């Protein structure tokens, strides 16, 4: 299946160059429940792992169009590999963009920018304010990508004398701590239906000191490093683009695989191949068109916001709602494409270890994420309707 437009660029090519390695290692990643060293090492050798970073952290600061196509390509290769793309790459992007200079020097410069970072940004921890930083405690679920990471991101609420800190009425302060892997406890728990190869372990911290220099605001949009519009848009749009792209990539793999299968697929008691059946032809036309439309919507929403910020305009609540709604829509559409492909492939889609079977499990695991939930669509619609002026989580 070809898309209606093509986006080139060195970052996308770095991802495409991973195809043979990912194909050969996907089953082993599932078995060990985290990416294999072979894949991780090739991500570094190709420059893919640090590519979304600011230039000062070894990246190339790609546009949203390049990021979206890179993620689609990675998820098309394998759902777990794609999920690592939307976990490790945005994590290091955010830390490299927003950490204070001292923290950046400690985390990135001291390690020659070879820093893999995963974790959970939702504030499931508390940080008691002390001289020079915080004493961090908490438990986080689904720390995507920490199976092979040297640093772990952990969202937390700062606490002053036992009281939550507020940045404005009704909005608490939410910070991100960047913690060396050896200072947190991995509780594992990653025994799941899909996305088995992502090393998304549960983890916890107990009274771990984190200096101010290794923290930044969850909703920060003023970069200390980097000049791309993305660095001035914050982590939420990058994460939203990642989730939309991931779902599109997994769905595309299933549509492509069932299209290839159709020429030789015969159902029991049916003398015609799947490809020759009008009902399959009609379904394929509909699903491919829906996929292409969703992809174009994602590109349009994120490019529009990116262009506005590049021109010096404010990232308005409406622009943020547009991006988040597009991500939810693309995810819903991709899930529908996957369900159709799974059904029409018949028993070919249930054999354990096949791309179709693995992609189907991955799709129905990844699309459970709260970031692309029904509530996000409702919040976006309420902004459009003027029912609320803003929703800070968008």
Question: Percent of the chain scored above 90 by pLDDT?
Answer: 87
pLDDT given for residue 389 in this prediction: 95
Beta partners for residue 151, in sequence order: 117, 180
pLDDT tens digits along 107-132: 999 999 999 999 999 999 999 999 99
pLDDT tens digits along 67-92: 999 999 999 999 999 999 999 999 99
pLDDT given for residue 3 in this prediction: 39
pLDDT given for residue 268 in this prediction: 59
Q: Within its chain, how far is the Cα of 91 from the centroid?
A: 9
- The lowest-confidence range among 49-63, 98-112, 261-275 is 261-275
H runs (alpha helix) in the chain: 10-16, 19-32, 37-46, 64-77, 79-85, 88-98, 101-107, 235-262, 278-310, 317-344, 355-366, 374-385
Q: Which residue has the tokens 């949203």?
A: 64
Q: Which residue has the tokens 């059904």?
A: 343
Question: Percent of the chain scored above 70 by pLDDT?
Answer: 96
pLDDT tens digits along 156-177: 999 999 999 998 888 999 999 9
pLDDT tens digits along 228-267: 999 999 999 999 999 999 999 999 999 999 999 888 866 6
Beta partners for residue 312, in sequence order: none
11: tokens are: 């970052």
DSSP state letter for 216: E
Mean pLDDT of the 356-368 span: 94
Q: Domains in the chain, please, with CATH?
A: 11-98 (1.10.540.10), 116-217 (2.40.110.10), 229-385 (1.20.140.10)
Mean pLDDT of all residues belonging to the chain: 94
pLDDT given for residue 2 in this prediction: 38
pLDDT tens digits along 180-221: 999 999 988 889 999 999 999 999 999 999 999 999 999 999
């Amino acid at each position: 299946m070809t898309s209606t437009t093509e986006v080139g660029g060195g970052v996308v090519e770095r991802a495409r160059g991973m195809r043979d390695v990912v194909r050969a290692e996907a089953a082993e990643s599932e078995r060990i429940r985290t990416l294999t060293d072979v894949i991780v090492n090739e991500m570094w050798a190709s420059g893919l792992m640090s590519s979304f970073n600011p230039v000062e952290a070894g990246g190339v600061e790609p546009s949203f169009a390049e990021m979206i196509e890179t993620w689609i390509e990675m998820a098309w290769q394998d759902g777990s590999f794609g999920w690592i793309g939307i976990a490790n790459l945005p994590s290091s992007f955010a830390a490299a963009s927003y950490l204070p200079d001292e923290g950046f020097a400690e985390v990135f410069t001291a390690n020659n920018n070879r820093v893999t970072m995963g974790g959970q940004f939702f504030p499931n921890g508390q940080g008691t304010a002390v001289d020079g930083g915080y004493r961090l405690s908490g438990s986080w679920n689904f720390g995507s990508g920490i199976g092979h990471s040297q640093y772990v991101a952990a969202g937390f609420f700062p606490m002053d004398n036992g009281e939550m800190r507020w940045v404005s009425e009704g909005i608490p302060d939410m910070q991100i701590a960047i913690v060396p892997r050896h200072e947190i406890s991995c509780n594992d728990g990653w025994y799941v239906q899909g996305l088995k190869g992502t090393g998304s372990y549960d983890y916890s911290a107990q009274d771990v000191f984190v200096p101010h220099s290794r923290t930044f605001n969850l909703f920060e949009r003023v970069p200390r490093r980097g000049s791309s519009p993305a660095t001035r848009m914050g982590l939420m749009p990058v994460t939203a683009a990642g989730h939309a792209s991931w779902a599109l990539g997994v769905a595309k793999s299933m549509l492509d695989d069932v299209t290839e299968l159709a020429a030789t697929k015969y159902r029991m008691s049916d003398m015609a191949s799947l490809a020759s059946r009008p009902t399959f032809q009609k379904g394929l036309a509909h699903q491919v068109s829906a996929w292409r439309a969703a992809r174009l919507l994602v590109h349009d929403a994120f490019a529009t916001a990116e262009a506005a910020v590049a021109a010096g305009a404010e990232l308005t609540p409406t622009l943020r709602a547009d991006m988040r709604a597009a991500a939810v829509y693309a995810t819903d559409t991709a899930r529908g494409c996957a369900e159709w492909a799974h059904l029409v492939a018949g028993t070919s889609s249930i054999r354990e270890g096949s791309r179709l079977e693995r992609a189907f499990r991955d799709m129905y695991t990844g699309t459970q994420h709260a970031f692309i939930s029904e509530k996000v669509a409702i919040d976006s619609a309420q902004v459009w309707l003027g029912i609320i002026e803003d929703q800070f989580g968008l």
